[in-house]
Structure 1
Amino acid sequence: MDKKIITTCILLVPLLTIVAEAAELGDYYLEKELYFEAVTEYKRTLFSDQSGHRDQYLYKIADAYYQAGQKQLAEEPLIEAITNDESSSYDQDCIKLLALIHWDQYDYDAMRGTLGVLATRLDSSRRDLINYISAWSYIYQADWESGIEQLQAVHFTDVKSLIKDIENVTSVPQKSKSLASLMSNIIPGSGQLYAGDYQNALFSFLLVGSVEASIIRNIIDKAYFIAAAKYLFLFSRYSQGGLKNIARKIDVDNINRIGDYLKTVSEKYPDPITLLQEL
């Protein structure tokens, strides 16, 4: 019996050495920012290791993918580490990294689901931080009501001021696409001017104004066919093109104004991503 144990130990020593060397080499590559080489070594370690450290290497594989910008590839090893039978200290790190990936991908619904799993593993004080992070995920989805409702369960920061700041988002100036379209139809270029597109405002005023003037002259001269052709040209190029561009610019500008406001607000309060990483 003793001989069998000794023989087994002798056989295991080279294998354990290979595992340790692969793990160390993976760490070296990761430090040098050679991410895919690091993944290769961690996978070698994962294949050979029988010591019950599977979660550790799954996390390292995911972290290397994440740092390489391959966030979708990072999800699979994280999910495996979270859902397998092994219980380790890396489970929480895997959940946090998965939540961070969802945040980076603007998949806030999935992020909140992941945070819900994380909350079951935390004490009440840190669950308060989860509520705060979840509130910001609603806010960035422009779901102000749900964000404010989630903030009401937060106790570690000046929640009343934050709620007031979020409520004030509705007072951020927004321009109207309908008004811009109406203005452009009445006075060519005025809609673009209203939208802040000054170059196209001048272009529309000169081009569309001159075409409209020539259409009126053609009608007076009873050159109806020419007037109709000019009108169709104007409709297809201006009404279907220029007015859509106005609407698109107004949408982008309106979103940017709200984004700038939220950025200013967020700088006054704890950063949710920093809190997530520190959990």
Structure 2
Amino acid sequence: MTMRLLPLLLVLCLLSGGPALAGDADRLLDFADHLFAQKDYYRAVTEYKRFLYLHPDDPAAPSALLRMTRAYLAGERWQEADATVDELLKRYPESREAGRAALLSAEVAFRQRNFSLARQRYGSAGLRYPELAGAADYRIAWCLLEEGDIDQARRQLEGLEAPQGQALADDLGRFATLPRKSPATAGLLSAVLPGAGQVYTGHARDGAIAFALNAAFILASLEAFDNGNEALGGILAFVEVGWYAGNIFNAVTNAHKFNHRLERGLLDELRQKHGLDLALGPRVGLIRMSWRF
């Protein structure tokens, strides 16, 4: 009797084990996602690896690799992120996640501020996965903006059909209206009157110090010459030439820094307004470009 029931028991165990294993797999992924949401990226990676080890043939395996890439990216583990993308593309080249992984590979370069490599990777992803071409082109435009190539970024955006891209292209005109300071004017002002260029660029305190130091050395050197102390006068005059040249250089540098702050401020504003990701829309940070699984 017992021997007759044994096959039936085995069948029942197999039937009951399938859903249990599936439930375990889902719980593993949910827990890994929870750790990621808590910014515990290292442990999230461990749980994604556990899932892949225990359930290598699960339909969610490509998604787990993509999520693991995202965790590496969030934790700034660049090499591991690239390696995981390579593994996903090698094992699941036709999966839905493959295109997203290619974009994440470009994001790795973007986050490292290697915008040239990022543009190359975004371009390759757009060519290989036409359905993602718009998203790739939008990020290429952001690479160009980060590199300071406003005109080329505008041309890139004007080729997009998405309203978000067109809106950003329109806003790029604001760069031309920024109240920049002319480095040439700043240098000329400080050449005519030491410290004037610093005042022009919004550094009144630095301007006052530059004026006082240059005036002090000029007066001291003149007094030394008047007293017949040519050696001391020559030394003071030589030092004054250094201060004078430094005052001009400082004014020019301040103008460049002033303009850079204006441009970065506008770029940050546009990033908040339009977002970095075409699919998810405005006010989406880099890691929120994390795909809907």
Both structures adopt the same fold (TM-score exceeding 0.5): yes
The TM tier, using the shorter chain, reads: 0.7 to 0.9
Distance 2:36 2:171 in 1: 42
Distance 1:160 1:274 in 2: 11
Q: Is the 8 A contact 2:188 2:248 kept in 1?
A: no
1:179 to 2:185 alignment: yes
C-alpha RMSD of the superposition:
3.7
Q: Is the 8 A contact 1:99 1:114 kept in 2?
A: yes
1:104 to 2:125 alignment: no
How far the C-alpha of 1:272 sits from its partner, in A, is 3.4
The structure-2 alpha-carbon separation of the partners of 1:156 and 1:23, relative to structure 1 and needing over 3 Å to count, comes to closer
Per the alignment, residue 129 of structure 2 pairs with 121
Distance 1:106 1:198 in 2: 34
The structure-2 alpha-carbon separation of the partners of 1:263 and 1:41, relative to structure 1 and needing over 3 Å to count, comes to closer
What is the correspondence of 1:159-174 to structure 2 with a 5 Å cutoff? 163=169, 165-167=171-173, 169-174=175-180
State the SS of the aligned residue for 1:273: coil
What is the correspondence of 1:75-154 to structure 2 with a 5 Å cutoff? 75-119=82-126, 120-123=128-131, 127-154=133-160
The structure-2 alpha-carbon separation of the partners of 1:54 and 1:243, relative to structure 1 and needing over 3 Å to count, comes to farther
1:231 to 2:237 alignment: yes
Q: Which amino acid aligns with 1:127?
A: A
The structure-2 alpha-carbon separation of the partners of 1:133 and 1:39, relative to structure 1 and needing over 3 Å to count, comes to closer
TM-score between the two structures when normalised by the length of structure 1: 0.75
1:190 to 2:196 alignment: yes
Q: Which amino acid aligns with 1:108?
A: F
Q: Which amino acid aligns with 1:255?
A: H
How far the C-alpha of 1:30 sits from its partner, in A, is 3.3
Per the alignment, residue 284 of structure 2 pairs with none
Per the alignment, residue 62 of structure 1 pairs with 69
Deviations along 1:18-54, one digit per CA (max 9) or x if unpaired, are x847656544543544321222233344345431655
State the SS of the aligned residue for 1:181: helix
Distance 2:38 2:124 in 1: 33
What is the correspondence of 1:242-261 to structure 2 with a 5 Å cutoff? 242-261=247-266
The structure-2 alpha-carbon separation of the partners of 1:40 and 1:266, relative to structure 1 and needing over 3 Å to count, comes to closer
The structure-2 alpha-carbon separation of the partners of 1:27 and 1:146, relative to structure 1 and needing over 3 Å to count, comes to closer
Distance 1:202 1:192 in 2: 8
Q: Is the 8 A contact 2:44 2:71 kept in 1?
A: yes
How far the C-alpha of 1:129 sits from its partner, in A, is 4.5
Q: Is the 8 A contact 1:180 1:194 kept in 2?
A: yes
The structure-2 alpha-carbon separation of the partners of 1:264 and 1:92, relative to structure 1 and needing over 3 Å to count, comes to same
Q: Is the 8 A contact 2:102 2:121 kept in 1?
A: yes
Distance 1:160 1:99 in 2: 23
Distance 1:163 1:59 in 2: 31
User: Which stretch shows the higher mean deviation, 164-173 or 185-194?
Assistant: 164-173
Q: Which amino acid aligns with 1:275?
A: A
User: Which stretch shows the higher mean deviation, 41-50 or 221-230?
Assistant: 41-50
Per the alignment, residue 162 of structure 2 pairs with 156
Deviations along 1:78-98, one digit per CA (max 9) or x if unpaired, are 233234455322223323333
1:211 to 2:220 alignment: no
Deviations along 1:225-249, one digit per CA (max 9) or x if unpaired, are 1012112333445534x44433332
Distance 1:158 1:69 in 2: 28
- Structure 1 residues not aligned, in runs of 5+: none
